[in-house]
Amino acid sequence: MSDLHNSAAKLSRRNALQGGLALAAASALPAIAQGTGPIRIGSTLALTGPLAQTGILHKIVGEIYLKQLNAAGGLLGRQVEWVLLDDQSKPEVTRTLYERLITVDKVDLLIGPYATGSILAAMGVAQRYNKILVHHTFGIPSLAKYEMHFPAWPIGAFPEKTVTNRVVDMLAGKVKTVAVVTSKFPSVHFLALGARPVFKERGINEVLFLEFEFGAKDFGPIAARVKDANPDLLFMGAIGLEGNQLLEALEKLNWTPKNHFYTYPTPGPLALSPLGKDALSFTAYEDLPPLNAAPGAAEFGKLFTEAAKANNIAYPYVETQTGASYSAWQVLIHAAAETKSLDDKKMSDYLKKNGAPTIIGKVRFDGPNNYGDDLMRIKQVQNQRWVLVYPDEFKTPGAKLIVK
């Protein structure tokens, strides 16, 4: 039970080591936390609207995490309650609701919403109230200027360079030409634009660069142009279904890309479609060894799979989105447990100095804009499952990188 939530567990272990009575610790804690009753953590998620498919995942993860946390004794001796509101996938509603969480619901702590626009809106509110904001998956590090924001998704301060370089390293000279095709969705577009100079530096010839409107439906002409260009690597700035849509259009031209990389694919449709074979993407976490050896990770994976199946989620395995979601909770709770406080400033100072252990690994916040190391790994679809193929130390047992 104590390994479910490692920071709370650590806390109680240390108390035991110090020889203090558990009871004494428990009675001391409420004083530190300045209150009794449950600790309330507030957030919004895109539970309805166009981003709901991902918003729902974050909801499932949060519920699992809190159940585990509370079963293990909660935080600072108190139970933890999640005040969750639906922001309808709209940043302006997110802003209003975070203000409501702080000023009306008077929650003790905040945790982030989902999607770039909403996270920025929440960050603005957090900044005005000097609240610490840990968030799950934010894609444009240069936009996150608030000193008390903490990205649980460790993409580093310059993912457009570090991630692309990793991909090129992995391909090890086997790829001579690339087609960069990108959606004009902000976080995706940013990565794809940033990747272009890296490819050039590394001597990979860009044979096609295409941008399309987010929400485009007809991929036929794009597919025809990709086929015409016939690149060794299709590097697609894709979010949601766009990868699938291009692949389906390419299939109709009887053409399959040799190697193909997608930035933010929705995991299910791409992995489960026969067309997604050998597709590459980057990830912080997958529920696979060796990554899930972290304390609590395997159990989380099991619980998530159960809950996801019950909720009709097409790809019921923990992957980068849900892994980061779990990590965000771990970072927040770790900071509170370690500082024995709910004080935003103290927690923030602690995190900046020490980082936090998560299922993804040790996440640090000591670089530009509170971004630390880029912990991203490369995954590939093999047998309708995403497996890790690079770097070697994270490779899923039995998986082998396929490069043509």
Partner 1 sequence: MISATLLGQSLLSGIFSGCFYAMLGLGMTLSWRYLKVINLAHFAFVLIAAYLTYQLVGKSGLHPLVVAVLLIPLFFALGIAQQALIDYYKVNEFASVIVTFGMAIITEAALQWFWSADYLKLESHYLRGSTQIGTLFLPIGEAVMALIAVVMCAAVWAALRYTWLGKALRAGLDNPQIAASFGVPNRQLSYLVAGVSGATAAIGGIFVALLFTLAPSQIFAWLGVVFAAALLGGLGSPIGVLAAGLLLGVSEALTMAVIAPAWAPVVPFTLLMVILLIWPERV
Partner 2 sequence: MSAVSAKMPRSYVPYVLLAVFVFFAALPAMKPPAFAESFLYLLFFWIALATSWAIFSGFTGYVSFGHGAFYGAGVYTLANLASYWSIWWCLILSGLVAALLGVAVAAVVFRTRLRGELFALLTLALAIVLSTIILNTPIDGGPGVYLLGVNLPSFYGSQASTLYLFGMSIGMLSLFVAWYLQRSKLGRALFAISDDEDVAEILGVPTYACKLIACGISSALAGVAGGIHAVFVSYVTVSGTFNLEVPLFVLLMSVLGGARSWIGPAIGAVFVTVLNNTFVSGDSALLVRIGIGVTLIIATLYLPDGVVGLVQKFGRRNTNPAVDPVHPAQVEQPAAQQRSTTQAMTATGETLVQLENISLAFKGVRALDGVNMEVRKGEILGLVGPNGSGKSTLINVLSGFYKPDTGRIIFGGEDLARRPGHIIAKHGIARTFQIPRPFGRLTVLENVVVAAMFGAGGLPERHARERAMHYLGFVGLDSRASALPSELNLHQRKFLELARALASGAKLVMLDEVLAGLTPSEITSAIAMVRRIHSADTTIVFVEHNMRAVMELTHRLVVINQGKMIAEGDPRAVMQNPAVIAAYLGTADAED
Q: Which residues bind partner 2 (CB under 8 A)?
A: 44-45, 47-48, 59, 84-88, 90-93, 95-97, 99-100, 102-104, 116-117, 120-121, 124, 128-129, 140, 143, 145, 184-186, 189-190, 193, 211, 213-215
CB nearer to partner 2: pick between 125 and 337: 125
CB nearer to partner 2: pick between 51 and 223: 51
Q: Which of 2, 15, 53, 70 binds partner 1 (CB under 8 A)?
A: 53
With CB cut-offs between 5 and 8 Å by kind, which of partner 1, partner 2, none does residue 92 bind?
A: partner 2
Residue type at 127? Answer: Q
CB 389, min distance to partner 2, A? 30
CB 119, min distance to partner 1, A? 19
Q: Which of 17, 19, 23, 312 binds partner 1 (CB under 8 A)?
A: 312
Q: How many residues does the chain have?
A: 404
213 binds partner 1 (CB under 8 A): yes
Q: Which of 114, 150, 212, 282 binds partner 1 (CB under 8 A)?
A: 212
CB nearer to partner 1: pick between 267 and 361: 267
309 binds partner 1 (CB under 8 A): no
CB 68, min distance to partner 1, A? 23
170's tokens: 């992995």
CB nearer to partner 1: pick between 28 and 241: 241
The 256-295 site mask, x for binding partner 1 (CB under 8 A), equals ----------x-xx--xxx---------------------
CB 10, min distance to partner 1, A? 36
How far is the C-alpha of 153 from the C-alpha of 138, rounded, in Å?
7
With CB cut-offs between 5 and 8 Å by kind, which of partner 2, partner 1, none does residue 347 bind?
A: none
Of 266, 323, 335, the C-alpha closest to 296 is: 323
246's tokens: 């291009």
With CB cut-offs between 5 and 8 Å by kind, which of partner 1, partner 2, none does residue 357 bind?
A: none
Residue written as tokens 């003790």? 108
